[in-house]
Structure 1
Amino acid sequence: MNSKTTQARTAGWQQIQRWFTQERIVLSLAVVLFVLFSVALPGFATHDNILSLVRGVSVLGILGMAMALVVIGRGIDLSLVATMAISVAWTLALAGSGVPLAQALVYGALFAVLVGLVNGMLIAYADIPALFSTLAMGTFIYGLGRLKLIPSDVVPAPENEPWFTAIGQGEVLGVPMPVLLFVAVALAGAAFLRYARAGRFVYAMGDNYLAARITGIPVRPMVVLQYGLASLIGFIGGLITAASVSGMNTRIVNSTLIYDVILVVVLGGIGLSGGKGGVRNVIVGTLLIGVLLNGMTIMNVQYTVQNVVKSSILLAALIFDSLLNPRDEQTAQQGDI
């Protein structure tokens, strides 16, 4: 009798543990924060503020999708924001110099993809750890862009292209365009990871890199593909940013945005050890950070204090991730993070 009772209690506790996943915990925290801010902060739950909130986190969510793609495959991309800023700023600079905007967009997208492909080749074929490769590439791209490609820190968007402005400032049936584009990117990312063969390869590589190689998965080309796609998604997020504020400020590279992106991914439940997580985790992490930042902004919390709060949450999320997804010998040998 006692043995059966113990087994029943153990089974019940295991079921509770399976239900309380990091994704559900973070979603619950987002809901709790939303309710608390709605009650305590005048103007938080208004229609205009909620629209502003979801519009503001859309780009963060899109960049989170890009980062998630490489993190699931057991990598990381610290050059994402630099690639986004320089490629979009160069696009706007070309358009300002007389190049048709559509043509400039193609050039900018190709530039972003090229940076991603170089990142992937350095990691896959030169065996440079992703942490160091992408950190160096981000610094290089920013320096190259400011030295050769972009005339100033801030590059304005073209004024005679209303369709471009609509990308960041327009609405469809009352829903901001950035939100719709975030939904489109999220659906495309979910379809890729779930139904495409390459998406399944990403999970297999993240779960066990060496086993994926032994089973015949083309791991080196897949790494290159991961970083190329991540840079392209980052370019899309940069276009929305530029259209929203009518220009691209390249000093965003020196901001904490890249850490916000990593925070969204890790906090949402995508383990840095790879092979786990998906689009829902990015959405959940984005919602929590969006609610938190919006509430702190309404409370007039200083930017420095906000950074302290975000960094503390990121540190806690990394500790939690290390406990849930401990590093193994195979992960350490890959030297990715």
Structure 2
Amino acid sequence: MPRKPIKISQEKVVIGISVVLFSIFSIVLDKFLSEGNIIALLKNVSILGTLAVGMGLVVVGRGIDLTMVAVMVVGVAFSIWVSSLGIDFTVAVLIGAVLVALIGLFTGVMIAFAEIPPIFATLAIASSIYGTGRIIFPSDVLYAPNNVGWLKWVGSGTLFGIPASVLIFGIVSVTMGLFLRKTRFGRLVYATGDNPNAARNMGLPTRPIIVTQYIISALIAFIAGLIMTGLVTGINTRIYNSSLIYDVLLVVVLGGIGLSGGQGGVRNVIVGTILVGILTNGMTILNVSYTNQNLIKSVILLTALAIDAIINPRDEQTSQTGDI
């Protein structure tokens, strides 16, 4: 019997590149395989990966969420600011979670009901969130109380030798994976992302689905912010001006979640996170400047977008309404 041809997917290509990069860095860079560097790599990947899980959900639903970094830094900064007024930090975190959920609700309503294209709506809302935070908060950098046990565990705790931040990323990933693949809502997200008009004509509640996606995305961004706060004991709101949101998009697109919607999942996010994490860590050890790192990642993102456009061509409906 003739052998079946091996199907080469974008996911397998990314895994192969990750293995090659890891091998090269392990040989060339003395510090790459050190315990401290591996732990640092895992912790950094946990923040990027957690954000990418939320972005992946929205992209599967044929959207995009450029508010994630703004929501992350302002939501956590708001919680720290509230705790400085004498409120218990854990309660302040719950208040911050309510705030970011409301932001996600507003974003979703603007996109689903006002029908503003997601890329413009989220870009404008992100700037508004960050600008409001700059007015309210007394400083760009806010530090969390140093006596919060669970926050210390998030930053430096381990379980079976695995950093707590990585465990949280794993929990978020598994939960989202099950949510997308095993629940009715998840199937509705794929249906809406695959063909919004057909889903609407079938009577599916596409608008509430879109709104819910942005609420979940905002809450996941908040979780990523708490991970960051645990790792560095505070939050720097100026991170909003960094290239982090583009790194998140790079992870999602590179991993194989098409911007045309309706395909991909958490596994793609994990694959993309590993590659970007290894690449960034290696460039940092090589003392590649921040500007050059952004240039390299920008070229990779542009290439990934071009590949995505070829693999997932725009259909007639997408061409008329815009996939983002």
**TM-score range normalised by the length of the shorter chain:** over 0.9
Match for residue 231 of structure 2 among 237, 244, 247: 244
- Which aligned pairs between 1:74-223 and structure 2 lie closer than 5 A? 74-148=62-136, 150-223=137-210
Task: Read off the aligned partner of 2:289 and give its amino acid letter.
Answer: Q
Worse-matched range after superposition: 261-270 or 164-173 = 164-173
Aligned residue for 2:62, secondary structure, equals: coil
Q: Distance in 1 between matches of 2:155 and 2:321?
A: 40
SS in structure 2 of the partner of residue 271 of structure 1: coil
- 2:24 maps to 36
2:288 maps to which of 290, 301, 304 = 301
Q: Secondary structure at the match of 2:314?
A: coil
Q: Deviations over 1:253-273 (max 9, x none)?
A: 000000000000000000000
Maintained 8 Å contact 2:259/2:323: no
Aligned AA (2:191): A
Q: Is the 8 A contact 1:131 1:336 kept in 2?
A: no
Q: Does residue 53 of structure 2 align to residue 53 of structure 1?
A: no
Take 1:333 and 1:231, find their aligned partners in 2: how far apart are those partners? 28
Computing the radius of gyration from Cα coordinates, the structure with the larger value is: 1
Query: Between the two proteins, what is the percent identity of the paired residues?
Result: 53
**2:313 is equivalent to residue 313 of structure 1:** no
**How big is each residue's C-alpha offset from its partner over 1:145-174, in whole Å with a ceiling of 9 and x where there is no partner?**
1113x2110000111213212112211121
Secondary structure at the aligned position of 1:44 is classed as coil
RMSD: 1.2
Cα shift readout 1:53-75 (whole Å, capped 9, x = no counterpart): 11111010000000000000000
Aligned counterparts of 1:43 and 1:254: Cα–Cα separation in 2? 30
User: TM-score normalized by structure 2?
Assistant: 0.97
Deviations along 1:12-40, one digit per CA (max 9) or x if unpaired, are 6xx33xx2100010011001100011011
Q: Aligned pairs, how many? A: 323
CA distance in 2, matches of 1:77, 1:70: 7
Is 2:277 aligned against 1:290? yes
| Cα distance between partner residues in 2 of 1:222 and 1:169 | 37
Q: Aligned partners of 1:157 and 1:334: how far apart in 2? A: 44
State whether residues 260 and 323 of structure 2, in contact with CA within 8 Å, keep that contact through their aligned partners in structure 1. no
Aligned-residue offset at 1:336: 4.1
Runs of 4 or more consecutive aligned structure 1 residues displaced over 2 Å after TM superposition: 332-336
Point out where structure 2 has 5 or more consecutive residues left out of the alignment: none
Q: Deviation of residue 202 (structure 1)?
A: 0.5
When normalised by structure 1's length, the TM-score is: 0.94
Which has the higher mean CA deviation after the structures are superposed, 103-112 or 45-54?
45-54
State the Cα distance separating 1:44 from its structure 2 match.
Answer: 0.9
Alpha-carbon distance between aligned partners in 2 of 1:27 and 1:98, rounded to the nearest angstrom: 48
Consecutive unaligned residues in structure 1, runs of 5 or more: 1-7
**Structure-1 separation of matches of 2:35 and 2:131:** 42
